[in-house]
Structure 1
């Protein structure tokens, strides 16, 4: 019984909306039929036809319900469903569920699926519908108080109609205004999307448009989640990577700078501050409130803004919208009274917005000017006079703290915390101070022009990594310039730029033919590389693999794994890797992947030349059949042979030479080809320049068999190609016929009524006996027996009967 097998060509890939991968799936069983009691075998070929590598391609094909028959679980060794993938995956009595990690452009993975259909199996197999849902509002950030419009598409990629598809999309938390419409006429307002598509045809799509309003005070992420479900079909795709759309709140990095470009104030004179408010994005900032209070003791205070604002008294201005990259500048003018005596004049600006600021701190919002009679400019320099460190050693920093005046500095607090990752440090100061751990010392009085020098020594652990950062500081209440350009000393680790190349200097590989890779590891410095680990595993499917290194290392049929204790600057170690792809190697690509690491950091760890990938050389499978659809021949007749030459691929076969010699003893021989070739009384010798995968050329050969021909009649065809073949055997190239054996018919007629042979008596009845015998060796068919009434005898008076039940009057005619 032939039934329709409702199979699915299933895949899952999550891709972005720019130049991307395109996954194409082809089945070799497009009619999806099966025969009960037999094994169904077909292939699913998954190919990336796009221009970008696809990742996480999930291919799924389930065991049809009822195929796994009782007992359940099945006994060990009982196989009902099995599959293999050309990527090395396989399964027995389990669903095909395989994820292709990466699928490069043009690359394919082929899955071969086998299903044993029970004899008693009559039920229709489950319908499988690959539903793809996409939900997007084409933005990543929402707008407070604005609308967000989502497009939800539900597409059936087949292979069957999907009945009763339940589509849903809940109202996101915190949203109160929500409406939706569907291209199938459905709609809803302030209710979650809940709609059933009665029948979704193959390659059909229903589109839903969802509109919601984001409240002005909305916070956190905004997530819209769509989904589909149903119990009348099987959706082979688990998960839905494009069902959820998440938008983040808008963010604006507002930076404020406030300065009058001086460190001391002058009594009786004006002081002019420039306050800049800049939005560094990425989104616009709304309702930005800019403020600057009048400093204590100041009575005259005016301001203007580049946005046209101005005022007398404290600065308080709202910028409705500050676009990303936009700046508003305020100029503040205040008069320092002649009687002003405060130790410090402090101006403090600020900017706030309901738009989230990812960096809310404001290190330049405050400008402090000190009283001229108290000002002491403290300058700090911190250095260990090197740019790299060596793990397992010590390094000494020299920290100088100098007072550039114009007044003596009091209570100067000098600090240097332990650098991150450092646990041991000691320090001494020229003022007699000492300590262990973090530097923390107060200089009671630092005269104008005086310097205190600290020696700060840290121990670097042997396993230390990353940058080593020492940060010194010196603070005093009356420093007119608190900037410190030389307070921080940063050393990096010793680095070694390892450069790796791996190549066999070819772009294609040939199954059964060895290929040699040259792997070089070079240290471009600036320091030696320690503990260099070199690896190159055997590629998938390779069993013959050997390697040697210029440092004396080697291995056979084992992964390349080698340690170089120290690789000097400018030195290179070269590895020669030899491998042989098996003759039946069918993977579309052969990749050799080298990996090199070192305990010495590499400033450029990328390795674009570590991987060498070769595509498989052209591979064809020529299949030749030659037959005249008979096993015996008849001398003196003609016979016709049909010779087919088919290329089963996967590549085109080039320069195909087709031959069929004239059989021995044959003198009349002619042939024609479906490619318009022909010949008469010459052997079949034809060249097909290129035979595409799946193409066939058919030859018709006509042979006249002489009447006296004896012995076997042998026709031998062949086809060769310059393209490598996956199978060179030819089990149907030769057709041999034997001589036709015959049936020997013997007929005997006697006059039995007179007793005397060949004598009759006039006026009496004459009775003849006719016997027909077959002396073999074959059965005789369609034997015609005839005996004509002699002249002068009235046919009406003649009767005859046969022991096979026949009889008649007149001439004997039995066939």
Structure 2
């Protein structure tokens, strides 16, 4: 309470305050001028928060023009009773304020006594500043995140708190592990450095943040990475912090526990028991995850992403030994789970995948085990295991094998209802007879197979045979008609190299193969062919080159396996017709020995 006579009061603040509010009541006829000092050098202004009808505000002056003391509702004095004369609350603007002055020029109007005793208080918005280590326990040398949080409560007449700044001195033994800091986007445009005002650096022992701005209702978080190499418990409490303004109030403490790192050796193996796969069928992998020790592990991470193009999979976890515990007993899709593995323990995963019918190339599946935070894996070379299968090659004999096309000026692509003719050019002789007519007896040549009607490229394959060392620069260029590109050609075996533009040449890195050859086919969905042309260059006059064409009919078989009994099944094949239009008869398969497969003939579908 101020006395009844004119008086100038001052208030010095231990820390600057953002947006303080002056509350005044029982202000009689007078003129109360408010001044002070802002850390920004800006002039102090007044912003009305609340007032009764007798308080008039002009600039930074509060005026009461009432000529006598009367009671007004809406204001209470310090005892809770109805106060007299003017009352109200005003917010002081102009930046963080470090000092205030109140000059009550109590010269009353005419006929009024100079009896202006008045009351005042100051309040200001506060924002708690908290901090948290996560994880709160790490092994020596590992990293924890230290997050600072500032919350600006969303209350009546709340304002944006800016600029805010703080410094945190890390506990002795804890240092920064990274020279970067992150924030959640609710902090304005903060600058984060070390506590001395310099840039963040690995090994620094303090953190400082300036130019923080937090709107009402928002929480700003600023995060840095810290570490310690010494086992112990480190408490970072409010006494480690300093703030730039009184509005920012350091609160809770947080503790980081640093333990001796666990010493483990995790390993993983993976195998599906085969080396080839068939598109459209399944394969099943056995994955064994072990902890060689010497320490126990809780929460080892096991991942096994599916190969590109594979979408169907399911897995189970079991076969636990040595007290191991599966994090989950089963799942669908890729494996992404954990397991608890005491020293010497293991778990076994069984992963079954469905291979798409369109799948081609190598099928590689890789599984990985990773030690959790707080554990050091002494040998990471055994943390990954892969299994690679190649696509099952077509049969090399029997009904489903590629069919050799008999050489001649005209040819048949049986069992397909298609054929064609051949155009051959070049100096020198060609072979003769039904098995060697497409062999060029030395020198350069052009051979073109023309088809009577377009044929799917994947129904064909061809061989280029016997480029000898006497043609070190010899090439065979493949050209295609019908819209199929040479990029769709796939070499399936042999030593010859297939390059860009369909150019085939000897492999100079192979010296123990006097005559190099290769077999080629086309990727699925390549389109249709109307002709294939082979053009040679730089072939020696004594180097004989063979050209062979083969048909690749699709085929259908039916197989029966009785694992626990013998007997017969009849398969109704009335809806199956071979490529040449021949109907496929119903087929009876009889098992005479348990576990022995019985297959039907192969039909060209």
TM-score (norm 2): 0.27
In the superposition, the TM-score normalised over structure 1's length comes to 0.21
Which has more radius of gyration? 1
Flag the structure with more relative contact order, 1 or 2, with Cα contacts below 8 A and sequence separation at least 6.
2
